[in-house]
Amino acid sequence: NHEYSQDGDGYYRNDSRANDDEGGHSDSTEGHDEDDEIYEGEYQGIPRAESGKTVPVDGIAPQAQIRDLAQFEAERRKDQEELAQQYETILQECGHGKFQWTLYFVLGLALMADGVEIFVVGFVLPSAEKDMCLSEESKGMLGLIVYLGMMVGAFLWGGLADRIGRRQTLLISLSINSVFAFFSSFVQGYSSFLLCRLLSGVGIGGSIPIVFSYYSEFLAQEKRGEHLSWLCMFWMIGGIYASAMAWAIIPHYGWSFQMGSAYQFHSWRVFVLVCAFPSVAAISALTTMPESPRFFLENGKHDEAWMILKQVHDTNMRAKGYPERVFSVTTIKTVKQMDELVDMGEGTAWYQRWRMKLADLFNQVTYSTLTLDCTKYIITIPTSVLTSISLLSLSYYGLTVWFPDMIKYLQKQEYSSRTKVFIKEKVEHVTFNFTLENQVHRNGEYFNDKFMNLKMKSMVFEDSLFEECYFEDITSSNTFFKNCTFIATLFYNTDLFKYRLINSKLVNSTFLHNKEGCMLSDFSDENSAYMIYFVSFLGTLAVLPGNIVSALLMDKIGRLRMLAGSSVISCVSCFFLSFGNSESAMIALLCLFGGISIASWNALDVLTVELYPSDKRCTAFGFLNALCKLAAVLGISIFTSFVGITKAVPILFASGALAAGSFLAFKLPETRGQVLQ
């Protein structure tokens, strides 16, 4: 005999057997000879009570039914607290198994796509600058635009995921990322490429806040910290994938084609295309996964949530060899809902309906964001979380971008130290058909000499005379003629444009069939490119030990100890970067810094997921992740400004930021052992 009693606006089934025996919800079925027999615990549907909700009449709710907002929020919070306890019990019954591991790899692909996005622009810049004639300012903007896009995307998709669902929002964001990443591999102009990478960044910006929130809502308390940390490994895999693809594809200049002089498709564009594959794979895999049941319960969709939780339970039980076990949960607490759209009638135009839906969605997302400051979770907690994340981002991203620039500067300094200087040399009737590199010629005289089929790299001629000379098929880089005089000299098919002739005189000299292209500061040396990929590969691989340690210890020592301990050790390792005088020493120290600091990132990700209630989890995570990217932009801008000036300031600044972050970490509450709010 079953009775139904109303609690708030939800209905629960009271089973007399359960009242007599609290252990009545068995994990196995009893006595089910007939096919149509109802097993203990089998879901039979929940009767709906129309009187439990405020119903709008003619688009206006009666005054008697309007709830005081504060009272409504208090009731809603009470429902959420009851749901949190029950949901944890349900996840315990569902167990951890095949379903969670399947979702782990699916969401890992989305996180991998985020890791790839960070590296794409940095790897293609040396090649793209030749195709697009990029100045130093343009290259700098291209490097920052990805972070700006991800900042906007994190805020946008985080808020949207709390309103329309984690899975649906993640599918939309990844689709935008895939589409514009695909377009960016084909567009030719700098502005078009910049726009595509911006929108691609906006798309992938939703990955981190949604992925961690989504996965956490399928994890029981004792598994949450460990498995969220394991999930972070896919960001590392994304970096390794990008480095390996860059090494395998970009140097192969034969992998290209062109259609006239207007359209060129070089190997670096193939690399950009290949980097979209993880996002496409994530979309394909995500279509097979269900929405978060916690999201459904927070939005009053009981039946949908029950079916998904039953799917999780049955999938895990079958994989463990217990297919006979039945999901014993019959009813789950749902959260009271605020009245939503007003019916505008059947005669309303479609565009007016869509406009109203979008306006309502915007208002809901805005309300969810603004009310972050009205909850007990944001008054004291987020100031510390926000500051810790900002300081860690400022240090980590600032150092990781400053470091390659510093390596290039050291290489340039070492290169300049090997410059050969020639003074007052006289050369007559000589043909130069070999590469001229890293030389300075002062007060030289060149008569009837031929410079043919050669490259000039870092060549400077000062106060020199060229008479009856012939330049043919010259490709130059960082080459200039200062205060020189050219008499009866012919330039044929060269890139020695007049802006390379500084304060020079041309007497009866001619330029014919100049080469089309860009004035580059340096040649893209293949060995240098391989070095960039290799260092990035090492730096990404170095986080593996930190990932493993943080995953194994996250639930044992707690989130705060992990965060504070990692920040302190990262601070010390960062300080020792100032003692790295050689390229290999700095690479080793940077790998050490990356391997240690990853534990801080993992701890912050777990803390952020567990600190905020489910109806605001993605919004809060997205907001904090957007600030993280803003701090990254500031860190990159600040740190790179010191390249070639001093390395002490960036290192001391980063060390101080990490020290402050470790101090603030102790002000955060420990969330280990707590149910998901």
405 and 547, same domain (yes or no): yes
Tell me the C-alpha distance between 456 and 476, whole Å. 5
Which candidate, 625, 611, 554, 653, places its Cα nearest to that of 233? 554
Which candidate, 296, 331, 327, 302, places its Cα nearest to that of 314? 327
Cβ atoms 522, 502 nearer than 8 A: no
Q: Across the chain, what does the average pLDDT equal? A: 77
Q: In CATH, what number is assigned to the domain containing residue 442?
A: 2.160.20.80
Residue 215 domain flag: no
- Supply the DSSP symbol for 66: P
More confident residue, 407 or 588: 588
| pLDDT at residue 372, rounded to an integer | 52
442 and 536, same domain (yes or no): no
Structural domain for 666, as ranges: 377-417+529-676
Residue 2 domain flag: no
602 and 670, same domain (yes or no): yes
Long-range CB contacts (within 8 A, 24+) of 446-453: none
Angstrom CA distances, 333 to 19, 54, 234, 611, stand at 18, 19, 34, 21
Q: Where among 512, 546, 562 does a domain terminate? A: 512
Tell me the C-alpha distance between 77 and 203, whole Å. 32
Tell me the C-alpha distance between 469 and 427, whole Å. 11
Gyration radius of the chain's alpha carbons: 32
671 and 550, same domain (yes or no): yes
H or E, element range at 3:
strand 2-7
22 alpha-carbon distance from chain centroid: 47
Range from 198-212, 454-468, 614-628 carrying the lowest mean pLDDT: 614-628
Long-range CB contacts (within 8 A, 24+) of 533-536: 533/123, 533/243, 533/246, 533/247, 534/243, 534/247, 535/404, 535/407, 535/587, 536/119, 536/122, 536/123, 536/239, 536/242, 536/243, 536/246
Residue 130 domain flag: no
Cβ atoms 425, 444 nearer than 8 A: yes
Residue 520 domain flag: no
**Quick one: CA dihedral 211, 212, 217, 222, positive or negative?**
positive
Q: In CATH, what number is assigned to the domain containing residue 581?
A: 1.20.1250.20
Residue 237 has pLDDT above 70, yes or no: yes
Q: Where among 512, 543, 578 does a domain terminate? A: 512
Bridge partners for 598 per DSSP = none
537 and 630, same domain (yes or no): yes
Long-range CB contacts (within 8 A, 24+) of 465-471: 471/496
DSSP string, 285-317: HHTTSPPPHHHHHHTT-HHHHHHHHHHHHHHHH
| pLDDT at residue 657, rounded to an integer | 80
Tell me the C-alpha distance between 357 and 377, whole Å. 29
478 and 599, same domain (yes or no): no
Bridge partners for 559 per DSSP = none
Of 45-59, 382-396, 573-587, the range with the highest mean pLDDT is 573-587
Residue 196 domain flag: no
Q: Directed axis angle between helix 166-184 and helix 190-204, to 10°?
A: 160
Amino acid, res. 49: A
Residue 258 has pLDDT above 90, yes or no: no
625 and 500, same domain (yes or no): no
Alpha helices in 329-380 (DSSP H): 350-370, 376-379
Which candidate, 100, 151, 116, places its Cα nearest to that of 234? 116
Question: Going by C-beta distance under 8 Å and a sequence separation of 6 or more, which residues neighbour residue 412?
Answer: none
Cβ atoms 573, 593 nearer than 8 A: yes
**Tens-digit pLDDT profile for residues 282-320:** 999 999 999 999 888 888 888 888 999 999 999 999 998
550 and 647, same domain (yes or no): yes
Residue 143 domain flag: no
Domain count, the chain: 2
Range from 321-325, 485-489, 514-518, 568-572 carrying the lowest mean pLDDT: 514-518
537 and 643, same domain (yes or no): yes
Instruction: Summarize the confidence of residues 349-364 as an average pLDDT.
Output: 60
SS3 460: strand
Angstrom CA distances, 197 to 102, 205, 251, 361, stand at 30, 12, 22, 27
**Tens-digit pLDDT profile for residues 3-36:** 433 343 433 333 433 334 443 343 433 334 434 3
636 and 611, same domain (yes or no): yes
In terms of DSSP bridges, do strands 490-494 and 470-477 run parallel, antiparallel, or are they unpaired? parallel
- Supply the DSSP symbol for 205: T
Range from 94-108, 248-262, 280-294, 562-576 carrying the lowest mean pLDDT: 248-262
Residue 147 domain flag: no
Q: Where among 483, 512, 541 does a domain terminate? A: 512
